[in-house]
Structure 1
Amino acid sequence: MSFARVRALVVVGLLAVLALVFVVVAIVRDTQSNAGTGKGCPKGWPLADVALHEPKEVKINVYNATDEPGRAGSVADDFRNRKFQVAKVGNATSGFDGVAVLRFGPKGVGGAHLLRAYFLDNAERQFDINRKDDAVDVVLGNSFQQLATTTEVNQSLGDLGSPVAPAGTCPAPSDK
């Protein structure tokens, strides 16, 4: 074996050892190993479900705040056709001129994030830290036209990114 080959093998071996040491040190000194698990969360803060759920896992209540009677029922049927769990359908107490309002608590953060995509991120969000259920209330406003198509929902989810825990909550550990 020539001297040039030996020298090349020594250099490559040294680089491999340095890379291995670097990786081990990075893993051992990782300070983000508890990120997203709720560890280190201030005592008493609720855990927010920040997992992005499939429609069949999301429970919703649909309320009509438009001038058009029966709008909640038709939109609830659209949501059922898209595999959402529709629990309640009814009328809101007052009118609303926007597209929609999504009302949810810490257990409904992931579901509300998915629903934002169905309204192309034009729905107002109202987070209630004291709410205990995992359902999301969808209040339809006078500016509502229709739900987004599957392609539009997927594009909107890409634009929205991952769900984020609202202020005053900590991300819950993911079961998936």
Structure 2
Amino acid sequence: MSMLTPPGMGGKYRITGDKYPRMRRPRRRLAAAVTGSALAVGLIGWGTSQLIDVFTGNGTRSATVAKAACKPSKASPAPLPARSLPRPAQIKVNVYNATPRSGLAKAAAEELKKRGFAVGQVGNAPELYDKKVAGTGMLLGPPQATQGAFAVLGAQLAGAQQKTDARETEDVDLILGTAFKELSKKEDADRALAALANPAPASSPKC
């Protein structure tokens, strides 16, 4: 009797031989494992194809669409309307010196007169502004001066501040600040005025 035969059993129930019976894996688990492997292989293949498209140029469709959307129009941009500015002779300027250095107001007034401005009062700045104006200077005048007079006079002194007050007259004050050295060169002032009178059209966006 074989050692595999349980006690008390014999005959047709006797187990002979020296090999153990083998257990088979359930078919359901085997099918699930095969399906999962196939799915993983498919995902890997799809990801690989996407990478190949990127590096070979097959995936450039979105980039082409973006470039087309950002492509500037061939039509020339419409020019901006010319700005009407007062002539220097139409602007009366009072020149005041708010620095501790003497003679600056007189020199600046003479230069402005040469450039066609109508010069009014010349002297030291009022106590409210004396030695209290930082930078190159300040333009002080009525609210309507912001529509043109400030632009024309500001072109003569780069970096000048602008401030309005409640005066009823049309004259404008040029108060020289602590950083003042001299007025802008006439050619630079003329270029600035030309740019203000005829603004350049807006440039096309860069992609």
Q: TM-score, normalised by structure 2?
A: 0.49
**Does 1:133 pair with 2:169?**
yes
Structure 1 contact 108–133 (Cα < 8 Å) conserved: no
Deviations for 1:26-55, whole angstroms, at most 9, x for unmatched residues?
Answer: xxxxxxxxxxxxxxxxxxxxxxxx951111
Q: Name which one, 1 or 2, has greater alpha-carbon Rg.
A: 2
**Does 1:119 pair with 2:157?**
yes
Aligned residues: 111
Deviations for 1:35-85, whole angstroms, at most 9, x for unmatched residues?
Answer: xxxxxxxxxxxxxxx951111111010000011112111111111111211
Superposition deviation, residue 155 in structure 1: 2.4
Structure 1: where are the runs of 5+ without partners?
1-49, 163-176
Aligned mate of 2:192, from 142, 151, 156: 156
Identical residues among aligned pairs (%): 32
1:150–1:70 Cα change, 3 Å: closer
What does residue 105 of structure 1 align with?
Answer: 142
Deviations for 1:68-117, whole angstroms, at most 9, x for unmatched residues?
Answer: 11211111111111121111011112203310100010343321110111
Counterpart AA for 2:108: V
**Does 1:66 pair with 2:99?**
yes
Structure 2: where are the runs of 5+ without partners?
1-82, 199-207
Distance 1:59 1:51 in 2: 18
Distance 1:87 1:161 in 2: 26
What does residue 167 of structure 1 align with?
Answer: none
- SS in structure 2 at match of 1:118: coil
- SS in structure 1 at match of 2:170: coil
- SS in structure 2 at match of 1:146: coil
Distance 2:134 2:169 in 1: 27
Q: Which has the higher strand share?
A: 1
Distance 2:96 2:149 in 1: 17
Distance 1:84 1:160 in 2: 18
Distance 1:143 1:89 in 2: 19
Q: Which of the pair has the greater relative contact order for Cα pairs under 8 Å at 6+ separation?
A: 1
